[in-house]
Structures are given as C-alpha cells and as structure tokens.
Amino acid sequence: MTDERLPQSPEAFRAYVRAWMAEHYAQFQRDWPGRIDPVSLPYRRAWEDTLCRHGWSGLGWPREYGGKALSLSHQAIYLEELARSGAPLGVNLIGHGIFAPTLLHFGSAAQKARYLPGILRNEAIWCQGYSEPGAGSDLAAVTSRARKTQDGYVLDGHKIWTSFANLADYCFALVRTDPHAQRHRGLSFLLVDMHQPGVRVEPIRQLTGEAEFCEVFFEQVKVPSDCLLGQEGDGWSMAMAAASFERGTYFIPRLVQFERELARVRALIDSVAHGLTPIALQSYRQRWAALFADSMVLQLKSRRALLAAMNGEPPGPEGSSTKVHWSEAHQRMLDLALELLGLNLCVPAMQMQAEVAFFAHASLWSRAETILAGTSEIQRNIVGEKILGLAKG
C-alpha cells in the first residue's frame, strides 16, 4: 500500500481497504506456520507487524512524522474494514491508539523523533501504567513515587493490570512527583524503558487462561529527565487528554465484531430450531431481536461520537453510556450463545466444537469488558451526574 495509490473518495477508499484486507489477511493465514489462533499474542503481533510493514500505521499522524494524514472518517472506514475482514486486534493498541496521539500533542520535538518511528514500524510496543492496587477507579490515588535527582528521577512503585506489559518495550506511567501537592496536581507522566534494571514484570493469568496483563514493579528505576512528557505536575490533565484521543473510533472495531458475532448467534438459533418447542424458539428469537436493536443503537451512538469528533467538539459524557451499553449487551449476547450451544441439539460436531471454543473464550473475556477503561458503576455515575443531572453519590 502506498500513499499515491490510496483513493480519496470514501466509497473508493472503502472498496480498496476491503479488497486489500481480503487478499492480505487470507495470505497471512496461509503463510502462518502454526495453528491459526486469532487470540494468541504472537499471531496478533505478527498480523499487526504485517499491517505496519505495508504502511497501515500512523494513518492520522502528520506526514512529517511518517504519517498518512488521513481524515478521521477515512480512519473510521479503515477500522471498520479491518474488523470486517475477521482479522484480530493487535498487541500495540496502546502505542498506536493512545500513546502516539498523546506524544504528538504533548511531546517535545526530540521525544517525537525518538519514539514515533518505533511505533510506526511496530518495533516498540507500549503499555499504559496507570492502575495500582490502591488506585483504579480512583486514579488520582496513584502512589508510585518518582523522586527528583540531578539528571532525572528515581522511580519506585507497583502498577497492576498493565495490558501487554510482558511484551512491552516502554511504559507511559502516571507517577507521583510531588507528594505534598493536591492529589491530582502532584502527578506526572514518565516514559519508562521496560528493559532497564529495576523493572520487574509478573504476568497475571486471566479467566481465559491467557496472561495479557501484568503486575509491574519499579524498584529504584532511573528515568532520565528527557523522559518526562510535558511539564512536571501535568500528568493528570495529560491522562485525561490521552483518554479522549480514541474518542470517535474506539467502539468501531468492537461494534463490527458485535455484528459479526450476532450473525453467528442467529445461525445457532436456526441450527437448533427444529429441536425446540415453539415457545422456547420464540423466546430465543426475541432475545436475539433485542440484541439486534442494541447493535443498531450502538452503531448510531458510535456514529454520533465520530461526527462530534470530526466537528472538533470536546469529549462528552455520552461515551460512558456507550461503554456500559456495549459491554453489557455483549455479555448478554454471549450468555445467549452459550445457552444455545449448551442445548447440544443436532449441530454437526465439527462446527459445534469451533463455536464452543470461540464463544466460551469470548464469554470469559467479556467479563473484563465491564471493568476495563472504567467500570460499569463508574460509567453509570458519570451518566447519572453529567447527563441525567442527578446529585453526586
């Protein structure tokens, strides 16, 4: 893929991306030496490397940093078509989706020159070190402490639930540089090299059996002063800004996946229909229809967020409503799928095995979806206070 060949009109761009993905993802699968396992980290990383090697990275970045300067609507089309191809999400989601735009916004020229090329080529994997055992929903309670020295900081602390830390080359960590300042004010953003002495990563096994997130221990880690992003004490506002950079596009791949899974659940209902009583069949169909309505409404919400971002509007609390809706509807859909598979009615054994493996994994993973990036309770607080105007709880 080269810039010159990228069509400009949205329709032609969509057709181009769709054809490219169909051809190259099929080729990638044919060339993959092992078992095709779209949830495995090596598989996901290799596919992400392939995308970056072919220039599908830095799509929204300015050209001076090797980006493609594509509009937000073109980026949205790319994400839709990537998800529609059935290809998995990568492992450097945080590097591409959160850290790079934060760096472009707040980084010095030297920091951009140093870190952006590695992300563009997918050679540097980034993780996000915010949460700690005592600071999750209440993020401002972060206690990891960076003490100032002559040429930088010495960092001590304990992060937890750090996605992809076991693969990461760098971590952008929210740490306390001033223990005497008001909670939000004493925080700063440090860019920590994960391969240096004093950094210890302990993977945490999840319900699915995989270990995608980790505990990270910082013990007397030396962080040079040029690894401070922005100004000391500005960590909180940068963390808030970082959270808004994916606004408008975050749900796109997840909603395409929702739609694809819903079609598979529909096929499951059809495959067991003749073994069910009419009442049972109707009840399954009604649950499916309600999920179809969820899918439509979520797509409208996602489009509205995209339009708002394209118009340059500041992020609003509506994203919280979409997060709760998507994560909880997804769990309802996966519960329905498992119930249908549990009926064990006349589905051919091979197909059954593949569907059980897929939906069991998706269902176990979906438990995390109502927790990560802000729990359902926290999102409901935001909706209650900021949209419904209810009193602070």
Active-site annotation holder among 81, 132, 212, 246: 246
Task: Give the residue with the Cβ less far from ligand FAD, 116 or 382.
Answer: 382
**Nearest residue to ligand FAD, by Cβ distance, number only:** 136
Instruction: Specify the DSSP class assigned to residue 132.
Output: B
- Whose Cβ is closer to ligand FAD: residue 162's or residue 166's? 162
191, β-bridge pairs = 172
- Least Å from the CB of residue 190 to ligand FAD: 14
Nearest approach in angstroms of CB 31 to ligand FAD is: 30
Please provide the size of the chain in residues: 393
Q: Which of 29, 143 has the CB closer to ligand FAD? A: 143
CA torsion, points 287, 290, 292, 298, in degrees to nearest 10?
Answer: -140
Annotated active-site residue 123? The verdict is no
Chain-centroid distance of CA 318 in Å reads: 18
In the bound state with ligand FAD, the residue whose beta carbon lies nearer, of 130 and 218, is: 130
Q: Which is nearer to ligand FAD, 280 or 372 (CB)?
A: 372
CB of 99 to ligand FAD, least distance (A): 11
Shortest distance, position 137 Cβ to ligand FAD, whole Å? 3
Residues that bind ligand FAD (CB under 6 A): 127-131, 136-137, 161-163, 213, 368, 371-372, 374-375, 377-378, 381
SS3 assignment, position 62 = coil
Residue 21, CA distances (Å) to 11, 74, 76 in order: 15, 15, 15
Distance CA 137, CA 95 (A): 22
- What the block records as the tokens of 239 is 């963390």
Task: Check: CB of residue 74 under 8 Å from CB of residue 59.
Answer: yes
Alpha helices in the chain (DSSP H): 10-31, 41-53, 72-84, 93-94, 100-106, 109-120, 235-244, 251-272, 278-310, 318-343, 349-366, 376-382
Query: Could you tell me the smallest distance in angstroms from the CB atom of residue 187 to ligand FAD?
Result: 13
CB-nearer residue toward ligand FAD: 204 or 276:
204
Question: How are beta strands 187-193 and 170-176 bridged, if at all?
Answer: antiparallel
Cα separations in angstroms, 111 against 93, 160, 253: 20, 26, 30
User: Shortest distance, CB of residue 341 to ligand FAD, whole angstroms?
Assistant: 24
Q: Which residues are catalytic?
A: 246
